[in-house]
Structure 1
Amino acid sequence: MSAALSRPHPGRLAALLALAMIAFAANSVLNRIAVAGGTDPVAFGAVRLISGALLLMVLVRARAPLIAPGRTRGVLTLSLYVFGFSLAYAALDAGLGALILFGCVQITMFAGALLARQPVPRLHWLGAAIALLGLAVLLWPSGAAAPSLPHALSMAAAGLGWGLYSLAGRRAANPLPETAANFALAAPPALLLWLLLSPGIDPAGAVLAALSGALASGLGYALWYTLLPRLAATTAGVAQLTVPVIATAGGALLLSEPVTARFALAALLVLGGLALSLRKPQGRGGRPSQTSG
């Protein structure tokens, strides 16, 4: 895959980037279809991790050592993401879950920058505040339009897990092999959790979970990590803001999920705020500030 992208045409790069974002959104849609159809969320998460581990290990040919410094943290945060994600979709629509997830991921990474004492420009503060306001609009209790709080909190936990996983991954020398190793180590505890807490999985749910793990997660992550070195940081960040929109379209088309005015307002605030926080502030003379990070 890397060889095919050694000198990508801009149009080809854009098409592959769109494909990676569709894969990320597909995780939300596949999970929602399965769980709404009666598949146990724990079983879905376990099969997703196992199938993702198998495919990723084949792709990287086990080039990353399973035992390495920081590996436990990676396995725990990956597991928090996968199971929080699956449990949340017992009640959340596909687009709504993706919006909460990516909003919380960005908030977590913003907080990580603060704790690391990295300089945060005022424009990024403003963008984060607008995104947080959007999540507040979405989650504030208001009759039937309000999402289920326990399930929203479960997705927020998934966002925390993926945000922490992403922060750790920024320091990884070989992110794809290390992701494969994390999946491989997370799979056995996930299988044990499934056997202890969950009933069996129906054939349709197993197929959807395997597609989510092997294709949307395994191949999706492989493509994403191949593209990342060829993308500006701001381009990579803004691209991920399209995932809730794609997931909403998928939920509307495949599950007839409604797109409410409340969701539209929250999406506008969250995605607009996150896009603003990803902009590089302009210094004097219209040049990007040297402190923009």
Structure 2
Amino acid sequence: MMPLGRLTLLTVVAMIAFASNSLLCRVALRDTNIDAAGFTAVRLISGALMLWFILSMQGRRRDNAGSWPSALALFSYAALFSFAYIDLAAGTGALILFGAVQATMIGYGLYSGERFSALKWAGLLLAIAGLVGLVLPGLTAPPLVASLLMAGAGIAWGVYSLRGRGAGDPSLATAGNFIRAVPMAVALAAMGWISGSLNLDLYGMFWATASGALASALGYLIWYAVLPHISAANAATIQLSAPVIAAIAGVLLLGEAVTLRLLLASAAILGGIALVIQQRAR
């Protein structure tokens, strides 16, 4: 059993890494000249290289780990995520992403025959109401197209997570999926180059590499090291902290505004999902 102090530290680091993806993407697309396709390509390529390097240093063979459908889900998440953050604030994007991920996984549970108690239904409806309230038209509403793109990214990540269940060693599977996603990322960048929109700004590439190699690759490896030592319900609950961290960091580091709509939507989405998770655990 992992010592509690180390377990706590690794958990905190993993959540900061997950939240950092939103911050790194937002700052790159807002403050540098890199475009969304270029950011996606650099992020996935650097993540694949980091995972390959670490597993090689450990003497672990990837062989045929991962799958092409999972790689497609991973690429779809990364691409939609990048294009959404052209117009979304870091905290808002992280909240929509997380809500869509959890809605996808909860929806799959319902489709698979999982029974919901009255409290679980109440939690699900509260979370859905929070998402709808967040994107309803109004002065403080986030851009609708960007919100839909981020919701699509969340659905893709939910599919990726569901496909990862029972896929064997998650570190090897993640490395295999990242490597398979590289040709897709290169194709996206090539389309940008052909259309004249591709821009691989140096500072933007730095942030994209940090997102891929550190926040994504290392973040996933750390999280997978933690997961065997905590329950599934606790793991899902802990992940509620990621959009909160992203929102707080967005305000403190990027100067993003806090609106009443965002606060109320956050409370509804995160509170509703937490209720579903806790009822599942019971």
Whether the TM-score (by the shorter chain) exceeds 0.5 is yes
Q: What SS class does the counterpart of residue 278 from structure 2 fall into?
A: coil
| 2:230 match | 231
Identity across the alignment (%): 45
Which of 93, 114, 117 is the aligned partner of 1:97?
93
TM-score under structure 1 length normalisation: 0.90
Distance in 2, matches of 1:64 and 1:280, equals: 37
| 1:156 match | 151
Distance in 1, matches of 2:61 and 2:225, equals: 16
- Does the C-alpha gap of structure 1 residues 252 and 172 become closer, same or farther in structure 2, counting only changes over 3 Å? same
Counterpart contact for 1:121–1:281, Cα < 8 Å: no
The alignment status of 1:10 with 2:4, answered yes or no, reads: yes
Which of 17, 23, 30 is the aligned partner of 1:29?
23
Counterpart contact for 1:87–1:154, Cα < 8 Å: yes
| 1:107 match | 103
Which letter maps to 1:53? A
Distance in 2, matches of 1:178 and 1:155, equals: 24
Which of 133, 139, 143 is the aligned partner of 1:137?
133
Give 1:59 deviation, angstroms.
2.1
The alignment status of 1:76 with 2:72, answered yes or no, reads: yes
Which letter maps to 1:35? L
> 115-124 vs 7-16, which deviates more?
115-124
Distance in 1, matches of 2:118 and 2:82, equals: 36
RMSD after superposition: 1.5
Q: What SS class does the counterpart of residue 34 from structure 2 fall into?
A: coil
| 2:189 match | 194
The alignment status of 1:40 with 2:39, answered yes or no, reads: no
The alignment status of 1:179 with 2:174, answered yes or no, reads: yes
Distance in 2, matches of 1:115 and 1:128, equals: 14
Give 1:281 deviation, angstroms.
6.2
| 2:62 match | 64
Residue pairs, 1:231-250, within 5 angstroms: 231-250=230-249
Matched positions, count: 274
Counterpart contact for 1:48–1:209, Cα < 8 Å: yes
Deviation readout 1:92-149 (Å, 9 max, x if unpaired): 0000000000000000001111222233333322211111111011011112x01111
Distance in 1, matches of 2:280 and 2:200, equals: 50
> 37-46 vs 263-272, which deviates more?
37-46
Deviation readout 1:138-192 (Å, 9 max, x if unpaired): 011112x011111000000000000000011112111110110010010122112
| 1:265 match | 264
Q: What SS class does the counterpart of residue 114 from structure 1 fall into?
A: helix
Counterpart contact for 2:101–2:157, Cα < 8 Å: yes
Deviation readout 1:229-284 (Å, 9 max, x if unpaired): 111111101111111110011111221001111100000001100110111369xx
TM-score under structure 2 length normalisation: 0.93
Distance in 2, matches of 1:98 and 1:91, equals: 13
Counterpart contact for 2:233–2:280, Cα < 8 Å: no
Q: What SS class does the counterpart of residue 226 from structure 1 fall into?
A: helix
Counterpart contact for 1:28–1:247, Cα < 8 Å: yes
Give 1:23 deviation, angstroms.
0.1
Please list every run of 5 or more consecutive structure 1 residues that lacks an aligned counterpart in the other structure. 1-6, 283-287, 289-293
Q: What SS class does the counterpart of residue 279 from structure 2 fall into?
A: coil
Distance in 2, matches of 1:114 and 1:30, equals: 34
Please list every run of 5 or more consecutive structure 2 residues that lacks an aligned counterpart in the other structure. none
Distance in 1, matches of 2:273 and 2:109, equals: 15
Q: What SS class does the counterpart of residue 280 from structure 1 fall into?
A: helix
Distance in 2, matches of 1:65 and 1:128, equals: 40
Q: Which has the higher helix share?
A: 2
| 2:14 match | 20
